[in-house]
Structure 1
Amino acid sequence: MQRQPEPRLFIAVSLPAGLKRMLADWCEKQSETWAFGKWVNQEDYHITLKFLGNCTPRQIREITEELRGLAAVASPFSLTLAGLGTFGRPASPRILWAGVSGDLPALTSLEQKIGNRLAPLGFPREERPYRPHVTLARKCQMHDFPAPELLQAAWPERLTQTWIVRELILYETKLGKQPMYHAMARFPFR
């Protein structure tokens, strides 16, 4: 009997469906002039709070218990999409992302609480500063990608929308599938 591979998981908050659609429409238009190897499927738009990697059934039970407890004392908060940015070399970035503003103290606090609760379960705290974002595209194929000031000018004001975050989501990554991320469990805030 062949053993199933351990699921690859992460914890995130999602965007509302209407905003995902608007963002995907904008990305589709941009893809005509900005050459990236992969544009993210609209159903995969999210803001990562904690990457977990491959998890055993026992770890999944423990993670679920911790997230349920955390969500039970968390309050909804608002976030807003805010502009564009990149990771990697500016002329040929690895990642194109949409920034996030709004109640960043609440989002950052949630990220830290998740890290603190899961560290004893074998998931080390992230040492890099938390940079919340929504990944839009990966692997730029250009060597003259727009400078940051031109990038900001490309951001349409209609996408600067606010929404209320009301839950945590435990996602499983299914490589080779579209969409690639599937909600394994949802944890509504009180």
Structure 2
Amino acid sequence: MSDESREPFKRLFFALNCAPAQRREIAQWRSALQLRNGRPVPAENFHLTLKFLGAVGVAQIAEVCTAAAAIRTPGERLTVVLDRLDVWRRAGALVLAPQQAPPALLRLVYALEQAMLPFGLEQAPREYRPHLTLARDYRAPVPESATTPEFFLRADRFTLFESRKGRYRALAEWPLIDPQ
């Protein structure tokens, strides 16, 4: 067995973080749904994934960060309107998603995908579907809601997170707006 196969790694993903006040607002709205199915995602973990990297060797993280820092960002704050409640049956997830993904978000995701290609981290390419996960192991129809969801996730930076034992920790972040 080579030393490389025993190299320590971290489970990483890029995301737009959710502001604390917005996390509380979304968690309260989710509470009103009175879910009787699935495992609620802790509000402190609410985010909008841009690119899941999976297991990344600790030695590679600095290079991943350098590649992310070189990405040409939208140059403006991103606003994603989470206005659709949906169930992803195969994934067993209850999600908030945008009816329409903003073009600047899709360009950022594409730029991240391109920047991460040299690292060979992705097993199989997937179509990007922006979402915020409300519950996992969800095996029921879309719940009825007294109020239509309409959350404006506003981000002025994107973040590299580590996922460890159900907790997410920010490792690095980059501005979406060019510093003057």
Shorter-normalised TM range: 0.7 to 0.9
> Paired residue for 1:129, among 127, 130, 143?
127
Are 1:160 and 2:161 matched, yes or no? no
Cα root mean square deviation, aligned: 2.5
Compare the two structures and name the one with the higher helix fraction.
1
Deviation sequence 1:82-103 (CA, Å, 0-9, x none): 12001116xxx71100012566
Structure 2 unmatched ranges of 5 or more: 1-5
CA deviation after TM superposition for structure 1 residue 117, in Å: 0.8
> Paired residue for 2:37, among 32, 35, 59?
35
Give the corresponding residue for 1:173: 163
The answer as to whether partners of 1:80 and 1:163 remain within 8 angstroms in 2 is yes
Q: 1:104 to 1:126 in 2, by over 3 A?
A: farther
CA deviation after TM superposition for structure 1 residue 107, in Å: 0.8
The whole-number CA distance in structure 2 between the counterparts of 1:33 and 1:22 is 16
Percent sequence identity over matched residues? 28
CA deviation after TM superposition for structure 1 residue 15, in Å: 1.8
Q: 1:134 to 1:66 in 2, by over 3 A?
A: same
The answer as to whether partners of 1:170 and 1:183 remain within 8 angstroms in 2 is yes
Q: 1:115 to 1:4 in 2, by over 3 A?
A: closer
The whole-number CA distance in structure 2 between the counterparts of 1:4 and 1:24 is 38
**Aligned runs of 1:11-160 on 2, under 5 Å?**
11-30=14-33, 32-36=34-38, 38-70=39-71, 74-88=75-89, 94-101=92-99, 104-124=102-122, 127-140=125-138, 145-146=140-141, 148=142, 151=143, 153-154=144-145, 156-157=147-148, 159-160=149-150
The answer as to whether partners of 2:74 and 2:104 remain within 8 angstroms in 1 is no
Q: Secondary structure at the match of 1:96?
A: strand
Deviation sequence 1:130-185 (CA, Å, 0-9, x none): 11000000113x5xx33x5xx4x51624x413243211100001115xxx111111
CA deviation after TM superposition for structure 1 residue 77, in Å: 2.1
CA deviation after TM superposition for structure 1 residue 26, in Å: 2.2
Q: Secondary structure at the match of 2:80?
A: strand
Q: Which amino acid aligns with 1:169?
A: T
Structure 1 unmatched ranges of 5 or more: none
